[in-house]
Amino acid sequence: MYTGRSPGSVKTSVTRTPTPEVEYVHKVGQVVFLVAYVEGMLIHDLPRFQIQKSAPPELDLLKVTGMTTRNLGEYIAAHAPKCTDPVVAAYLLAGGRALG
């Protein structure tokens, strides 16, 4: 019978890899969810703002595709002041700063 050990080797006990506490993992999961939610909300609103002509051409969905969360946030925040609607500008600026 194969035991996975060389003949004469010392048998060692298998220890479980330590994992973080459940509460910590839960909190990290909440942060990840909220960041993804804000990112998704901003990305999904960009086409609507383009149709309404309230966002500048720089905030086109194709231009932000593939950006990291931080780069997306910084890019949106940098171009938010160019919006023609001050409410849209404030929304994009706040969301971009939250991600960047």
* 9-26 pLDDT per residue, tens: 555 556 677 788 889 999
* 37-89 pLDDT per residue, tens: 999 999 999 999 999 999 999 999 999 999 999 999 999 999 999 999 999 99
Whole-number pLDDT of residue 5: 55
Q: Which two tokens stand for residue 41?
A: 């909300």
Pick from 37, 86, 45: nearest CA to 64: 45
pTM: 0.76
Whole-number pLDDT of residue 75: 97
Give the DSSP letter of residue 66. Answer: T
Q: Which two tokens stand for residue 57?
A: 């051409």
- pLDDT of 93 higher than 90: yes
Give Cα 34 distance to the centre of its chain.
Answer: 8
Domain residue spans in the chain? 22-99
